Chains A and B, each alone.
Chain A
Amino acid sequence: QVHLEESGPGLVKPSQTLSLTCNVSGGSISSGDYFWSWIRQYPEKSLEWVGYILSNGNTYYNPSLMSRMTISKDTSKNQFSLKLTSVTAADTAIYFCARASGGLGEFYAFWGRGTLVTVSS
């Protein structure tokens, strides 16, 4: 059973870079037809798909965030990361990492617990 866990600063200042890491256990991020994803949930509870990185390293980003974000992976540590630059208060959210199986479709059976990131000075 795959397990995902987010880590990173809970407070980021406006205009700075948000950096989060998702540690994966119970499965390799370099194998299989999987989509290693970031999804965020705003304080009012709406969910936004942020983007993902495939096992082969290809990435897909939400167009609304594409100019500010990067998703990368470190296969030696079996983890993947999100960087979001020039953050504002609008980026305050709970950030989840999750895994979708490409073969059946991009729905999310496995999620981390989520980490709250607040953007504030």
Chain B
Amino acid sequence: EIVMTQSPATLSVSPGERVALSCRASQSVSVNLAWYQQKPGQAPRLLIYGASLRATGIPARFSGSGSGTEFTLSISILQSEDFAVYYCQQYNHWPRTFGQGTKVEIK
């Protein structure tokens, strides 16, 4: 099973800052990686697929990069609604697996 490791576990930031979240795969997943945002009491929301493609309706301040085993989700100017937990998911190997999440909290 592919292990997805996200870092840091928690990120304390102020609105307006830029953040970069990391996701590392235990084996190459090519670009078959997605990012999700989850707020309390809600289902995850797809942000990025194919490592760098924004899903429908996702603001341009969200961007994804990377391939193989190293991936980054960047949020260029953090808005108040962006404080949430972010997960990565690989869909290159069976079974599909998720990272443990990075919580972006208000500093």
Interface of A with B (CB < 8 Å)? 45-49, 60, 62-64, 96, 98, 100, 104-109, 111-114
Contacts and interface: CB of A to CB of B under 8 A. Distances in A.
A112 B45 CA distance: 11
B44 A47 contact: yes
A106 to B, nearest CB: 4
Contacts of A109: 46, 55-56
B50 A45 contact: no
B59 interface: no
Given A106-B91, A107-B46, A108-B44, A45 B34 contact: no
B96 A106 contact: yes
Main SS class of interface, A = strand
A113 B85 CA distance: 16
Contact of A107 (B34, B43, B94, B101): B34
Given A45-B85, A47-B87, A108 B46 contact: yes
Nearest to A108: B46
Contacts of A45: 85, 100-101
Nearest to B45: A111
Contacts of B32: 105
A112 B42 CA distance: 9
A97 to B, nearest CB: 10
B44 A49 contact: no
Interface in B39-58: 42-46, 49-50, 55-56
Contacts of A96: 43-44
Nearest to A98: B43
20 contacts: A45-B85, A46-B101, A47-B87, A49-B89, A49-B96, A49-B97, A63-B94, A96-B44, A98-B43, A105-B32, A105-B91, A106-B96, A107-B46, A107-B91, A108-B36, A108-B44, A108-B89, A109-B46, A111-B45, A113-B42
